[in-house]
Amino acid sequence: MSEFALPTFGRRRNEPVPPPPAPVEPPAHPPAVTATPRQASAAQLAELRSFCLQRIDPATISALTPERLTLELERVIAEIATEHRIQLNAREQKALAGELVDDMLGLGPLEVLLRDDRITDIMINGPHRIFVERGGKVTLSDVQFRDVPHLVNVCQRIASAVGRRIDESSPLCDARLKDGSRVNIVFMPLALDGPYVSIRKFAKRKIDFGRLIEFGSLTPPVARILEIASACRLNVIISGGTGSGKTTLMNAMSQLIDHGERIVTVEDAAELQLQQPHVVRLETRPNNLEGKGEINQRDLVRNALRMRPDRIIIGEVRGSEAFDMLQAMNTGHDGSMSTIHANTTRDAVARIENMVQMGNMGLPAKSIRTQIVSAVDLIVQVERQRDGGRRLTQLTEVAGLEGEVVILNDIFQLEIEGEGADGRLRSHYKVSRARPAFHERLCYFGLDRAWASALDQTEG
């Protein structure tokens, strides 16, 4: 019997048959085959989210801690995914549970940003564009809301938590979060791309002069000068632009107030963090549904004068309450403070004058300026500069009135020298040697020599 021949398909007649290939030895350790876990689609995640919300009892949620609720939601998500044959990996399961917890107990996607201590501002331009500020620089975040109704729900939750409302009939709202962070909301129809939300976060750690020095906002001699101003009970206005650090500096200065003094604070949305035991906090109230019941800052400042305060601190002067602030500073409430939006210290004086005139007092300009000169001792100018740093740039004394012109004396002013290799601005303070108008008060408190010594060190 002849040998079995290989088939000749595709081979010419009489062409030799090629030898069979050598057998391939299997590898001693075959490579492991790793299967990539399949990810659920966006539609499947939305379906899971809907099923979970239907199955959860709201009354049960309120009794659970966030940690316990997260575990329960992970269990429920796994059960629902199995029932509906939705493939879900462990990472997606955990992320979905965390998202649901934030929606139920917090402010949804904002919770991730609020937990990040590096973020100082959150700016929401509709559901899909959220910008954040870190280190003075603004960048676009990858955090988003699902849609406009999701963002609307969070906005209404923020407003209702402080007894305010936000809807199409009342589209502007100032509010605050539980940690004191300030919130401004602009609603439709004024907002064209969905609600706009601006959040100024509060640092979890209290910021004092020591931390401001670490940040480069001021130098130790400048901090000493502000300490002396507070100890001498000088009336101080802190001036600057939006986000320049006015409230932060006021909080730092307020820590120097004696714990035996009664302090009354007046704010649109409470954000001051005073550490003294005897603090009375007042907050404005908007109109109700009937358009009545508004209590503005001017009403609160007037009422504060009847509450036997040692100092009155107004979070921000923006209107006719400037007249009542001057009255308070002129009637024995030394050491009072407030903030104002202005580009320079001289602009701050002009703005106070304009705001007093907004109250239709009918007062002549010279009379208003006389009140400003007798009420305000110091104006502190702060600025957010191009390298992202917030710095104290100018300290000006309101020295007096010559004719109808307010005389200002710049005690010191920041001068920019250039930019360092790290991108940070290099600067120094230029000091004036003019004797301040409140020199007698410095002598009364025995701090005149300390003031002169601090000025010497500031220039050095």
Kindly report the CATH number assigned to the domain that includes residue 197.
3.30.450.370
Cβ-contact 250, 232 below 8 angstroms: no
Same-domain status, 445 and 351 = yes
Q: What does the pLDDT average to over 244-248? A: 85
Same-domain status, 262 and 360 = yes
Q: How far apart are CA 69 and CA 178, in angstroms?
A: 21
Same-domain status, 296 and 306 = yes
Q: What does the pLDDT average to over 132-139? A: 86
Same-domain status, 44 and 131 = no
Percent of the chain with pLDDT over 90: 18
Residue 70, domain extent: 38-104
pLDDT reading at 11 higher than 50: no
Among 45-59, 297-311, 363-377, 408-422, the minimum mean pLDDT is found in 45-59
**Model confidence pLDDT, tens digit, residues 209-234:** 888 888 888 899 999 999 999 888 99
pLDDT reading at 38 higher than 80: no
Q: Count how many domains the chain has.
A: 3
pLDDT at residue number 392: 92
- More confident of the two residues 259 and 73: 259
Cβ-contact 354, 373 below 8 angstroms: no
Same-domain status, 332 and 184 = no
**Model confidence pLDDT, tens digit, residues 324-383:** 888 888 877 888 889 999 999 999 999 999 988 887 667 888 888 999 999 999 999 999
pTM for this one? 0.73
Count CB atoms within 10 A of the CB of residue 143: 16
Domain closes at, from 204, 230, 252: 204
pLDDT at residue number 16: 53
Q: What does the pLDDT average to over 92-110? A: 76
Confidence of residue 33 (pLDDT cuts 50, 70, 90): very low
pLDDT reading at 64 higher than 80: no
